[in-house]
């Protein structure tokens, strides 16, 4: 009886120890699993944080790259547009406001009209002298004695140059002068027209000086009609020289009014 109780008690203790051992084993396994799970959780969080950090870095790199690309694009655009802006500024600087009269083509209108009227007057006198020369008629209103003696001058040997009557040479010169002194010729775009005008007047003035010398020192008399032609030629020479000095050898805006150097062409 006693042995049986002792056996039961011993079996009960053994059973209790075995249950405690199982419970301890289960508790340790659960804690390890929990520990493992916590580690996994931390690792996952760390991994996620790392990924987020990497994503943030990539985003920053992408933004920096975009900013750099945009900066380079703006630099190229500015480099392309700089010459255009500079060209536009240079054109604006060259475009200056000048008086309305100065902006008209050719020299001043009054000068164009004055030279044209003078050329017509010279042509009229030359026509009259040519007619009087070939008809051998006396010139109206001209004295026939003393210092003023038109007949003596128009019939002298000096009234011919290279066998051609001076009156005919004067007629040819003023026919050309009327054309070259017209407003249309003053506004011509070809530089040769303006050069030819100056050259013809230089030659005309040289011829006038010779005729004045012949009248005063060889013939000893002067002709009023011839003197009027000389005066008209001198006036045309002065006006043309003024136009060339102020407007150059091309029509357009006077270079002096623009404050620029005289054009070399």
Q: What would the pLDDT profile of 41-81 be if each residue is shown by its tens digit? A: 444 444 445 444 445 444 455 444 555 555 565 656 555 65
Q: For 237-246, what is the mean pLDDT?
A: 92
pLDDT at 7: 61
Task: State the Cα–Cα distance between residues 240 and 203, nearest whole angstrom.
Answer: 13
Judged against a pLDDT cut of 90, whether residue 35 lies above it is answered with no
Task: State the Cα–Cα distance between residues 244 and 247, nearest whole angstrom.
Answer: 5
What are the boundaries of each domain within the chain?
1-95, 106-258
DSSP three-state, residue 262: coil
Q: Where residue 140 falls among pLDDT bands split at 50, 70, 90? A: confident
DSSP code at position 222:
B
pLDDT at 215: 94
Judged against a pLDDT cut of 80, whether residue 17 lies above it is answered with no
Q: For 218-247, what is the mean pLDDT?
A: 93
In degrees, to the nearest 5, what angle opens at C-alpha 117 toward C-alphas 111 and 122?
A: 125
pLDDT at 228: 95
Task: State the Cα–Cα distance between residues 12 and 233, nearest whole angstrom.
Answer: 158
Judged against a pLDDT cut of 50, whether residue 190 lies above it is answered with yes
The reply to whether CATH 1.20.1440.130 applies to domain 106-258 is yes
């Amino acid at each position: 009886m006693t042995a049986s109780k002792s056996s039961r008690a011993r079996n009960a203790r053994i059973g209790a120890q075995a249950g405690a051992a199982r419970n301890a084993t289960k508790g340790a396994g659960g804690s390890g699993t929990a520990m493992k799970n916590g580690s996994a959780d931390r690792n996952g969080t760390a991994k996620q944080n790392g990924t987020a950090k990497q994503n943030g870095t990539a985003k920053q790199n992408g933004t920096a790259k975009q900013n750099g690309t945009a900066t380079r694009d703006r630099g190229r655009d500015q480099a392309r547009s700089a010459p255009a802006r500079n060209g536009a500024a240079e054109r604006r600087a060259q475009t200056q406001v000048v008086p309305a009269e100065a902006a008209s083509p050719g020299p001043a209108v009054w000068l164009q009209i004055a030279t044209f009227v003078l050329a017509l007057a010279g042509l009229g006198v030359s026509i009259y002298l040519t007619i009087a020369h070939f008809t051998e008629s006396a010139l109206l209103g001209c004295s026939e004695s003393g210092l003023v003696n038109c007949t003596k001058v128009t019939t002298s040997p000096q009234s011919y140059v290279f066998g051609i009557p001076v009156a005919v040479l004067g007629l040819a010169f003023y026919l050309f002068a009327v054309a070259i002194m017209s407003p249309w010729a003053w506004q011509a775009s070809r530089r040769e027209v303006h050069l030819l005008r100056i050259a013809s007047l230089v030659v005309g003035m040289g011829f006038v000086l010779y005729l004045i010398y012949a009248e005063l020192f060889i013939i000893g008399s002067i002709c009023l009609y011839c003197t009027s032609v000389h005066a008209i030629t001198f006036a045309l020479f002065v006006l043309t020289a003024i136009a060339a000095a102020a407007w150059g050898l091309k029509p357009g805006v006077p270079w002096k009014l623009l404050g620029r150097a005289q054009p070399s062409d």
